[in-house]
Amino acid sequence: MKTIIFAAILILSTSFASAKQYITKTGQVKFYSHTPIEDIEAINRQAVGILDTESGSMQFKLLIRSFEFEKALMQEHFNENFMESDQYPKSSFEGSIMNPEEIDFEVPGTYVADVSGNLTIHGVTKAIRVKGSITVTKDELITKSTFKVNPTDYNISIPEVTRKKIANEIEVTVDATYTR
Amino acid sequence: MSRKLLIILISFLLIAGIGGFLAYRMVFQDAPLSVENEKADFVISAAALVSAFETNESQAMKRYGGKIIEVHGEIDEITIKETSTTIVLKSPEDLFGVLCTFDSSVANAGSFRKGSAITVKGICNGYLTDVALNKCSLIK
């Protein structure tokens, strides 16, 4: 069902350019965990983003398995033990720009965006509100945001042995470029 | 004599074992995941892979998720970025294909042409708008 809705969105957005809906399949989502013992970083370069400049809605979807780590062993632990990515293969965000009057998608420049919506990770959905930026150029719309996520909010349990190596708050950076 | 030999033999095996284990960890687990020199778990066409996920996503995820897939198809889209190159292989579903992400270090990325046939090996991450593969390497 979700696929059909997604397909409908895709069809609509590609066939009616006037709908002002932009799609990327190569959005980047990074996360960073810092502890005195170890810094852990992972990057996902396959996030799908949909930005509707008319309604101000913003959506992201990604596959947990698409996160790439520096070490294969970390990636394995991440998928098998923490995120249970076979059971919860996806993560998503569905939200809206709360200050649309302050952003002009027709005038080049960088605008501050205040985005509110629902973030789903590990099967748990939470309301979040984050600040970000939207850069408008002649050919592109670039959306960026950095915010903190607490794994325990999403029922992600981290075993005692590795707890010292993983921060309580994970810094998430979203960077999506839409071609216009 | 035989006892001494046995001790030497056991310690030798022990050292070799530990050394082997450490080498294995260093090479395979402390390094980034790489599939370039690994054998594919499945060889399949882009159309068949998309159809498997379209028919039953959770079953396809169980079968292909995290596995090394060698997939062949026709290039439909190419996106070149600073850090990566992404191509989408066409499927009869038209809207959905197989998205393959290559690191920027991949040679030949510049030679990808829309409409040309290609065979790629990568890790299957699941299904969004497309079936997504990363850590891809070019087979032909």
State the pLDDT confidence band at B110, using cuts at 50, 70 and 90.
confident
Residue A160 CB burial class (10 angstroms; 0-12, 13-18, ≥19): exposed
Closest Cβ–Cβ partner in B31, B57, B61 for A72: B31
Q: How far is B140 from chain A (nearest CA, A)?
A: 23
Which pLDDT score, from 0 to 100, does residue A3 have? 63
The count of domains in chain A is: 1
Lowest mean pLDDT among A19-23, A151-155, B8-12, B25-29: B25-29
User: What is the CATH code for B42-138?
Assistant: 2.40.50.140
Query: Is residue A8 domain-resident?
Result: no
pLDDT digits (tens, 9 = 90+) for B50-64: 999 999 999 999 999
State the pLDDT confidence band at B26, using cuts at 50, 70 and 90.
low
Buried b (16+ CB within 10 A) or exposed e, A126-159: eebebebebebeeeebebbbebebebeebebebe
Mean pLDDT of B1-14: 86
Containing domain of residue A28, as a range?
23-179
Q: Are A170 and A33 in contact (CB under 8 A)?
A: yes
* pLDDT tops 70 at residue B97: yes
Q: Are B93 and B50 in contact (CB under 8 A)?
A: yes
Mean pLDDT of B36-43: 91
Q: What ipTM score was computed for the predicted complex, to two decimals?
A: 0.82
Place of tokens 């960073």: A32
Give the whole-number percent of chain A exceeding pLDDT 70. Answer: 89
Rounded to whole angstroms, the Cα distance separating A114 from A158 reads 31
Q: Are A173 and A156 in contact (CB under 8 A)?
A: no
Q: Which of A14-18, A50-54, A86-90 has the largest mean confidence?
A: A50-54
State the pLDDT confidence band at A127, using cuts at 50, 70 and 90.
very high
Query: Is residue A2 domain-resident?
Result: no
**Does residue A93 sit at the B interface (CB-CB below 8 Å)?**
no
pLDDT, mean over chain B: 88
Non-local (6+) Cβ contacts of A8 within 8 A are none
Mean pLDDT of A74-84: 91
What's the 3-state SS for chain B? Answer: CHHHHHHHHHHHHHHHHHHHHHHHHHHHHCCCCCCCCCCCCEEEEHHHHHHHHHHCHHHHHHHHCCCEEEEEEEEEEEEECCCEEEEEECCCCCCCCEEEEEECCCCCHHHCCCCCEEEEEEEEEEECCCEEEEEEEECC
Q: In the 8-state DSSP scheme, what is residue A161?
A: H
Q: Domain of A52: which CATH number?
A: 2.40.128.110
Between A138 and B93, name the one with better pLDDT: A138
Closest Cβ–Cβ partner in B34, B95, B125 for A10: B95
* pLDDT tops 90 at residue A42: yes
Residues of chain B found within 8 Å of residue A11, distances taken between Cβ atoms: 95
Closest Cβ–Cβ partner in B28, B62, B99 for A46: B99
